[in-house]
Chain A
Amino acid sequence: MTRSHAVQAVLLIVALALPGWAGPYWVHVGAIAWYYALLASSWALLAGYAGQFSFAHVAFAALGGYASALLTLQLGFPPVPGIVAGVVLAMVAGALIGWLVLRLSGPYLALFTLALSEIFRLILVAEQQLTRGSLGLRVPGLFAGESDSPYYYLGLGLLVAALLLMAGLLRTRVGLFLRAIREDEGAARAAGVNTTLYKILVFVVTSGLAGLAGTYYGPFIGILTPGIVILPEMGLVIAMAVIGGIESLPGAAVGAVLVYVLSELTREYGQWRFVLLGLALILVQRFAQNGLFAVLERPLVRPAAMEAERGRG
């Protein structure tokens, strides 16, 4: 077990213990924070590792959430098969989008996915008979009772499982290939990497996880609105990942929790909260480009590569 793992284990223990001593308000905040942590960490895999700077990530969350809710409400699916179907649908849509954007990168990919996301949001608004539009779709809960604790632990479990899944994937050659694609796609192809396959794969995996986040968020909040697909939501997920560390999956998750908790603590400042968020983003970009999690870890772990680079410097 490395020191980095020790940091993560301590954070997990704190998270597990929190409902025991914090009030219901913070349990509620924590349960929402897991939704953002799931989104930010999976987006970090897509953008930070594979270099696919997509703006459609929250649209996949909405797709998963709406699909599982509609399958439950309209076709009478039990909750778990509904959730599985929502995730699978998000993965299929992810494969399709991954294939559509194969030849796009950088700002073109960002703009294309932004447009797709906006189209999807407008469909959610317009298809009132199915989605109830801006009024929002009421989603039945997963657990009986008033307590948010079951959702809190479900969200935490899903987050940990997703982080383990992604970390496992990154430990295989797939992780190496995704980073090679991020660095130089043409060179990766010349090195024998089937870039088409791995780009689609990373869209499938991360879209599935975003979809999973949506299927968790809907029943917890009890209502889904097209508002979860708006650009500021995507911007928030990006800011969370960047502040935590876009090239570290646990870092992005920690960034999401930190940003969400701070935004709750500063709620009384209204819109000024977002000014603070912007400032935090600028400061992190200027002074800690690898994110706050790396700063937290730095005194504990020193990657060999970082040392070697410093040795040359």
Chain B
Amino acid sequence: MAEAEFFAAEGLSKHFGGISAVDDLSISLARGELVGLIGPNGSGKTTTINMVAGALRPDRGAIRLCGVTMTGSAAHVFARSGVARTFQVPRLFRRMTVLENLIVPALSNPAARRPEAERRAGEVLSFLRLEHLTRSLARALSGGQQKLLELGRALMLRPTLLLLDEPFAGVHPQLLAQIMEHISSLNADGHTIIVVDHNIDAIRSLVRRTVVMAQGRKIADGLSENVLRDPAVIRAYTGARDAH
């Protein structure tokens, strides 16, 4: 995979007080890959996403994007370098309009101009089928629409690496199909994507490669159909369920 290494996280570790959230995690991605990241609650998935997006600084390890070391850079530098993310629970600019939510990331590029940003926002809204809500306040959107808008906000950064944290959580089955369709089409357009989710069926049908985490460590990484049959993976999930 070395010839096509687009993104690499090497030996990432993060502790919170005495608790090890992520321990010596390494993942590398080729350009255009679509990867699922799964694991029981508390396995360190979101901490990993936070480190990869620059929101959390790893205690140890390195993050490289296209060969450039990004470790320690601020989150907005990650974002401007093409790493875009969504959150488990949508974190929109609630008292701003849908259009304003979208042009903030576009205008964070100092060279960008507002008319161009608005034109691009129009394209993204039409891709997400949200054009009719352009001038609505974000807080007036339904839960599903908020998920889509957050995806749109990430797309406005013209990302090369898209990190989706639980895009299927709590969404209506019809919307789930729509979000899966969007992810596939973005991947077909060349976006490299990491999808974190608990919905094993959705992950299985969406991604070829799945990485599994448990207790802060990577316990499996490979073709989804093999990984999801792996006894260690099944044990991690079942064990977690037993623990509740």
In the complex, what residues of A have CB within 8 A of residue B91's CB?
Answer: 184, 186-187, 190
For residue B137, CB closer than 8 A to chain A, the reply is: yes
Residue of B nearest to A310 (CB): B140
B125: interface (CB < 8 Å): no
User: Which of B79, B80, B87 counts the most A-chain CB atoms under 10 A from its CB?
Assistant: B79
The reply on B35 being an interface residue by CB < 8 A is: no
CB-contacts of B85-114 with A (<8 A): 85, 87, 91-97, 100, 103-105, 107-109, 114
Does chain A have a CB within 8 A of B220? no
Q: Is B55 among interface residues, defined by CB-CB distance under 8 A?
A: yes
Taking a contact as CB atoms under 8 Å apart, the answer to whether A304 and B135 are in contact is yes
Name the A residues within 8 Å of B139 (CB-CB): 309
Query: Is B157 at the interface (CB under 8 A from chain A)?
Result: yes
Tell me which of B84, B94, B108, B133 contacts A193 (CB under 8 A).
Answer: B108
Task: Collect the chain B residues with CB atoms within 8 Å of residue A191's CB.
Answer: 76, 79, 104-105, 108, 153, 156-157
20 additional contacts (CB under 8 A) given A176-B100, A177-B104, A191-B76: A173-B107, A179-B93, A179-B96, A180-B93, A180-B96, A183-B92, A187-B91, A187-B92, A188-B104, A189-B79, A190-B75, A190-B85, A191-B108, A192-B76, A192-B79, A193-B76, A196-B74, A308-B135, A308-B137, A309-B137
Assess A176 versus B75: contact at CB under 8 Å? Given A187-B92, A305-B136.
no
Contact with B along A294-313 (1 / 0, CB 8 A): 00000000001100110111
* Residues of A in contact, count (CB < 8 Å): 25
Among all A-B residue pairs, the 7 with the closest Cβ atoms: A192-B108, A192-B79, A183-B93, A191-B105, A189-B75, A187-B91, A308-B136
| Given A189-B76, A195-B76; A183-B136 close (CB under 8 Å) | no
Beta-carbon nearest neighbor of A194 in chain B: B76
* Interchain Cβ contacts within 8 Å, total number: 94
Contact A305 B135 (CB under 8 A): yes
Count, chain B residues at interface, CB 8 A: 34
List A residues 273-313 near B (Cβ within 8 Å): 304-305, 308-309, 311-313
Bitwise, A130-152 to B at CB < 8 A (1) or not (0) is: 00000000000000000000000
Q: Please, how many angstroms separate the alpha-carbon atoms of A311 and B135 in the complex?
A: 11
